[in-house]
Amino acid sequence: MKKLLLTAYGFSTDKIKRAALGLLNIEHSSKACIISTSRPKEKEKHPQMQQIRNDLLEFRLDQVDFLDVEFENANKLYDYDLIFLNGGYPFYLLHFLKKSGADYILKDISRTGVPVFGLSAGSIVMGPSIEYLQYLYPEENQFNDTDLTGLYLTSTTIFPHFKEMLTRDADIDKKLTSYENTTGIKITRLNNDQALSCHCKNKVLIS
């Protein structure tokens, strides 16, 4: 029974916080892990990651740790009651999730009902593929990976920060629509104040 929360910008609204709490079982001692793998290094020191940690602690979780699967044993993920996938660079994150075996571990533990939350890149890699990013930003695929299959925890492909990205690239919606028309793959646009909750087979847009 999967419990997923795909966010563009973390727990940015009270509605998203309530949705997160609804997916948690905090009647017992609970530990959360933030997968901090990204570039530059020491991502856990980034103010946004510290904010996520503080938010999780406010949810009355007893312990919130960081884990960088590029350098640490991904099997440690089995010790936690909640996994949070950080933001950053989707190609980089997915590369090391696969190299470390964390991709299989996350699939395994999500099937047991352990909630898996994501922020931006973390939400993107939870979907079926990041191929559309190869279409949009091929220069970011620094490892030249050809297998761009995601974790496939959900069948939904998301593009985060949509409204915000329009201020940087006025044609981004046209590019996404062109990709959708060519491939038949629908891309769900998420703004920074939105999230997608996936519980069992139900998907709810939080806005």
Phi, psi of 88 (to 5 degrees): 135, -120
Range of the domain at 130: 3-206
Predicted local confidence at residue 46, as pLDDT? 75
**Whole-angstrom distance, CA of residue 106 vs CA of residue 116:** 8
Predicted local confidence at residue 121, as pLDDT? 96
Based on the structure, what is the number of domains in the chain?
Answer: 1
Instruction: Give the residues of the chain that fall short of pLDDT 70.
Output: 26-29, 39-45
pTM score, whole prediction: 0.94
Predicted local confidence at residue 163, as pLDDT? 96
Strands 187-189 and 82-85: unpaired
Predicted local confidence at residue 78, as pLDDT? 97
Predicted local confidence at residue 45, as pLDDT? 67
Predicted local confidence at residue 29, as pLDDT? 61
**Whole-angstrom distance, CA of residue 194 vs CA of residue 206:** 5
Contact 99, 93 (CB under 8 A): no
CATH number, residue 139: 3.40.50.880
pLDDT tens digit sequence for 34-72:
999 986 665 666 788 889 999 999 998 999 999 999 999
